[in-house]
């Protein structure tokens, strides 16, 4: 293939999508990121913090859904994480989190999973009122 043919080639990023359970958030006018995961049996497993996909009005609407769901303990079976990566939640970082009863379900798009199972380049597409949290399992 010639250089001219290569120069004209476009790259497209293909996003994957999945439902995830919201188990908490990081606070910041009204929140910075959702903390999400999936169920394996009766245990909720953390997969990532999702910041992208919100405009201010939608962020406020989602935050209103948290009312009455606040809890004091982390609902995720695999937190805190010992290894510090961009996607990890360590014990120190968890002190700044607000935990929620894992009842809300969000549709999330992402490009891939890290070797540790975290979501990479994730964004919220919307909330899913049609799905029960306990039905949300790891896909693919």
Structural domain includes residue 35: yes
Q: Domain range spanning residue 77? A: 11-130
Residue 113 lies in a domain: yes
Q: How many residues does the chain have?
A: 140
**Could you give phi then psi for residue 7, rounded to 5 degrees?**
-60, -30
The answer to whether position 1 is within a domain reads no
Contacts (Cβ under 8 Å, ≥6 apart) of 69: 100, 101, 103, 104
Report the pLDDT value the prediction gives residue 12, as an integer from 0 to 100: 64
Closest among 116, 123, 114, 112 to 36, alpha carbons compared: 123
For β-strands 119-120 and 112-113, DSSP reports them as antiparallel
- Return the CATH number at 101: 2.40.50.140
pLDDT of 140 over the 90 cut: no
Per-residue model confidence (pLDDT) at position 33 = 95
Task: Report yes or no on 49 lying in a domain.
Answer: yes
Contact 109, 52 (CB under 8 A): no
Q: Lowest mean pLDDT of 23-27, 101-105, 114-118, name the range.
A: 114-118
| Token couple for 51 | 């910041």
Q: Is residue 30 part of a domain?
A: yes
pLDDT confidence of residue 84: 75
70 within a domain of the structure (yes/no):
yes
**Higher confidence at residue 71 or residue 86?**
71
The answer to whether residue 3 scores a pLDDT higher than 90 is no
In-domain check, residue 5: no
Assess if residue 45 is contained within a domain: yes
Task: Specify the pLDDT at position 10.
Answer: 67
Domain count, the chain: 1
Averaged confidence pLDDT in the chain = 90
- Global pTM? 0.88
Dump pLDDT digits (tens) for 23-78: 999 999 899 999 999 999 999 999 999 999 998 888 999 999 999 999 999 999 99
Residues 114-130, mean pLDDT to the nearest whole number: 93
């Amino acid at each position: 293939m010639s250089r001219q043919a290569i120069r004209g080639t476009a790259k497209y990023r293909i996003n994957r999508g999945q439902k995830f359970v919201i188990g908490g958030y990081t606070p910041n006018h009204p929140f910075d990121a959702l903390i999400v995961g999936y169920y394996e049996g009766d245990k909720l497993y953390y997969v990532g913090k999702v910041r992208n996909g919100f405009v201010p009005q939608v962020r406020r609407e989602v935050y209103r859904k948290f009312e009455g769901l606040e809890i004091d303990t982390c609902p995720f079976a695999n937190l805190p994480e010992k290894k510090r990566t961009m996607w990890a939640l360590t014990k120190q970082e968890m002190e700044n989190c607000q935990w929620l009863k894992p009842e809300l379900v969000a549709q999330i798009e992402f490009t891939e999973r890290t070797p540790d199972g975290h979501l990479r380049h994730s964004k919220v597409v919307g909330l899913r009122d049609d799905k029960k949290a306990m039905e949300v399992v790891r896909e693919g």
